[in-house]
Structure 1
Amino acid sequence: MHIALQKTVNFFNPLLVFTILLSFSFTATSAEVNAHGIKPMKVKVVIVSMFEIGEDEGDAPGEFQLWKTRQALTTRYAVPHGFHDIYANEETGVIGLVTGMGIARASAAIMSLGLDNRFDLSQAYWLVAGIAGVDPADNTIGSAIWTDYVVDGDLAHEIDAREIPADWETGYFPLFTHAPYDNADAVDTSNSPNGEVYALNIPLAKWAFALTKNTKLLNNEAMDILRAKYTHSPRAKALPSVSMGAHLSASTFWHGEKLNAWANDWVAYWTKGKGNFVTSGMEDSATLQSLTYLDNAGLVDKDRLLILRTASNFTMQPPGLGAAENLKRESSGDGYAAMGAAIEAAYRVGSQVTDYIVKHWSEVQHSIPNAQ
């Protein structure tokens, strides 16, 4: 473009130069009108879902459908440059976003919304509400877990297990180290330049937990049958409940006893033992990275982020089954007995927070709630 313009000037074509300059001037003026001529919607809560199974309404629900119907998100904002259109309730100030599955889509969707001048997100609360795997040592299917730490499970070195030294438990180890869990003293949970770990606003998360801890969650016979197989874990056999824990965010859908042990060690390493691995999913490290950048630009307040993950499946097999066999059963439907219950739990628990923020907006607009 620079070369072409230089040639035009050299050949003294003033009409073409004038046309180009006029085009640039018109574009700038149009952007200014778009940015300042239309009053953006003041958003109180952003609901972040990761997927929808089919249609947004009227069929088997994914993560978004219950929010769209029950929160009356009827106003559509087209997003041709994204995975899914945004829907809003302009009276309550609640909007709903579907990022698409995976880290790449989530990062793009959050950044796209954050830069969208149709919305004022400067004081908005963000609620990520989606399903996850759950460590049977800590909780059970159908449960809802408020997140305190998010740890990235992708940023790492890896050596194939068939080639690792005999004294290594894993060939997966942190970037800029030379062996599993080196340099543990250098980990800083409040400043992770590569995005390996994020500490959420824990007082806010504790407030959300206190508000919702007595929520009655769904259970069914199929869930009872599945959890009864986990004879080694009293918590896996318990009824669904609301709790808190750390979330491991990784693009790979991993499964099995060995990787479950790695997940616990990985989260403990990156949180310096402050976080306990409870749930696994894909997108949350990407969401946090995008919100961090947007916060740096003054467009959002990342301290207003809440993550609620609800357990649709266990992260490892029960005694007597191999990891591959159990994963196959999950894929065929046997292991997702709690899918519907987990989707319902995300709404039942998360909507209490959403409704509180809307109802008490005059208070929480300027002062973030925290557990007393």
Structure 2
Amino acid sequence: MRLTFPVLTAFALSLFVLPQARAEEAKIPVRVVVVTTFELGKDSGDMPGEFQNWVEKLPLGTEIPAPGTDHGVMRYNPSLQVLGLATGEGPEHMASAMTGLVLDPRFDLRKAYFVLAGIGGIDPNFGPVGAAVWAPHVINGGLAHMVDAREIPKDWPDGFLPVQGASPSLSPVPPLHSQWGDMGYTLNPGLVAWAYQLTRDIPLPDTKGLQTSRARYHGYPQAQLPPKVMTGDTLSSETFWAGERMNRWAERWVKYWTEGKGVFATTAEEDIGFMQALTAQARAGRVDMNRVLILRTASNYDMPPPGRTVAEMLKEETTEAGFSGFIPSLDAAYRVGSVVVRELATRWDRYQDTIPTAP
């Protein structure tokens, strides 16, 4: 039988369309992506990092190969349709991992929610070690002009100022999204408020080690409270800074870049890379930035208690006794974050097309 041109055209199109349709059908469904930054050893059964609680308790039992990534595998729960990964520490690893994930043809993440759940430091003026903090804003603590401490003008509060700025208090504030890089991000306020309201009454671990640690911060009433769920902004910097003067800079830097709206709460490395990578992919329609959450749990204070030096604090944190908040903060990240993840995943008919918001 001789095929006419229209028939040939239709047949040729079917060769293209049908494989494409099959590829769409074959995509691994994802309702929530759980993002952690590190694992210390194996994904289960040994000393835990940020990923292990999710693997063992959610659980994330199915391995999905992830060649070209820091961790090498992702984990999946097929009944909840939750995907989890450990990106590697630092903003570069985070940005690389998130870009690779979103571009991975195995997944369609246009309606997926992203929950970054990691540990970090906390400002003793804001809250206690062991706290779990949902972030309304992410501020870039790495992109700046920095003047050596020996050359800081006497009328400056510190040696940090905006790129291309001539003073720390340059006004008006340079655009948050400029050719020099994004300095600040605001997460969906309604979603953040919803996550906080859903989890604010969850009891958090309060060990003897945490109690001993916070008791030393006399004169810092917020630092002496028992661990609780809070909301506060995270400052993302690849440099592990510490000390009272750096803490004052962090408080100022967050207020500056949020034009007085933000409150510095937690320190982190990866959050700026997380937001930059996802924002770029959102411009291409591959993810929805209104479906992004960041939870940081406090493993330590970012400055020493009264009467102790920064050097003494850093030396102490190299010992198990001095880093008493590590395990409780890992537990808090899962305890709080999993409530949100399970709610989104198990009530997908409610949240697939309608992003939750606080009443």
Q: Quick check: TM above 0.5? A: yes
**Given the alignment of the two structures, is residue 170 of structure 1 paired with residue 179 of structure 2, yes or no?**
no
SS in 2 for 1:54: coil
For the Cα contact (< 8 Å) 2:173–2:257, is it kept in 1?
Answer: no
CA RMSD of aligned residues (A): 1.6
- Equivalent residue for 2:46? 59
Question: Of the candidates 125, 133, 152, which is equivalent to residue 145 of structure 1?
Answer: 133
The Cα offsets for residues 188-239 of structure 1, whole Å up to 9 and x where unpaired, read as 55x4552110011111000000000000100111111111100011111110
- Equivalent residue for 2:116? 128
The CA deviation at 1:285 is 0.4
- Equivalent residue for 1:360? 347
SS in 1 for 2:293: strand
Q: Which amino acid aligns with 2:197?
A: A
Q: Which amino acid aligns with 1:104?
A: E
- Equivalent residue for 1:220? 207
**Given the alignment of the two structures, is residue 87 of structure 1 paired with residue 94 of structure 2, yes or no?**
no
TM-score by length of 1: 0.88
The equivalences for 1:128-277 within 5 A come to: 128-183=116-171, 185-188=172-175, 191=177, 194-277=181-264
The Cα offsets for residues 34-64 of structure 1, whole Å up to 9 and x where unpaired, read as 9937621121000000001111000121100
Q: Identity rate of aligned residues, in percent? A: 41
Higher alpha-carbon deviation: 171-180 or 252-261 = 171-180
Distance 1:164 1:140 in 2: 32
Q: Which amino acid aligns with 2:274?
A: T
Distance 2:63 2:25 in 1: 17
Distance 2:130 2:82 in 1: 26
The CA deviation at 1:169 is 2.3
The equivalences for 1:15-26 within 5 A come to: none
For the Cα contact (< 8 Å) 2:173–2:259, is it kept in 1?
Answer: no
- Equivalent residue for 2:105? 117
Distance 2:281 2:173 in 1: 27
- Equivalent residue for 2:9? none
Q: Which amino acid aligns with 1:82?
A: T
Gaps of 5+ in 1: 1-28
The Cα offsets for residues 225-280 of structure 1, whole Å up to 9 and x where unpaired, read as 11110001111111000010000000001110000000000000000111100000
Q: Which amino acid aligns with 1:313?
A: N
- Equivalent residue for 1:295? 282
Gaps of 5+ in 2: 1-15
For the Cα contact (< 8 Å) 2:122–2:298, is it kept in 1?
Answer: yes
SS in 2 for 1:331: coil
TM-score by length of 2: 0.91
The CA deviation at 1:332 is 2.3
- Count the aligned residue pairs: 340
For the Cα contact (< 8 Å) 1:248–1:267, is it kept in 2?
Answer: yes
Higher alpha-carbon deviation: 349-358 or 333-342 = 333-342
Distance 1:336 1:33 in 2: 52
Q: 1:33 to 1:83 in 2, by over 3 A?
A: farther
Distance 1:46 1:132 in 2: 20
- Equivalent residue for 1:77? 64
The CA deviation at 1:72 is 2.3
Distance 1:128 1:45 in 2: 11
Distance 2:175 2:188 in 1: 16
Q: Which amino acid aligns with 1:217?
A: L
Q: 1:234 to 1:35 in 2, by over 3 A?
A: farther
Distance 2:26 2:162 in 1: 46
Distance 1:71 1:119 in 2: 20
SS in 2 for 1:118: coil
The CA deviation at 1:319 is 0.3
Q: 1:33 to 1:359 in 2, by over 3 A?
A: closer
**Given the alignment of the two structures, is residue 314 of structure 1 paired with residue 301 of structure 2, yes or no?**
yes
The CA deviation at 1:316 is 0.5
For the Cα contact (< 8 Å) 1:35–1:117, is it kept in 2?
Answer: no
- Equivalent residue for 2:5? none
Distance 2:188 2:252 in 1: 23
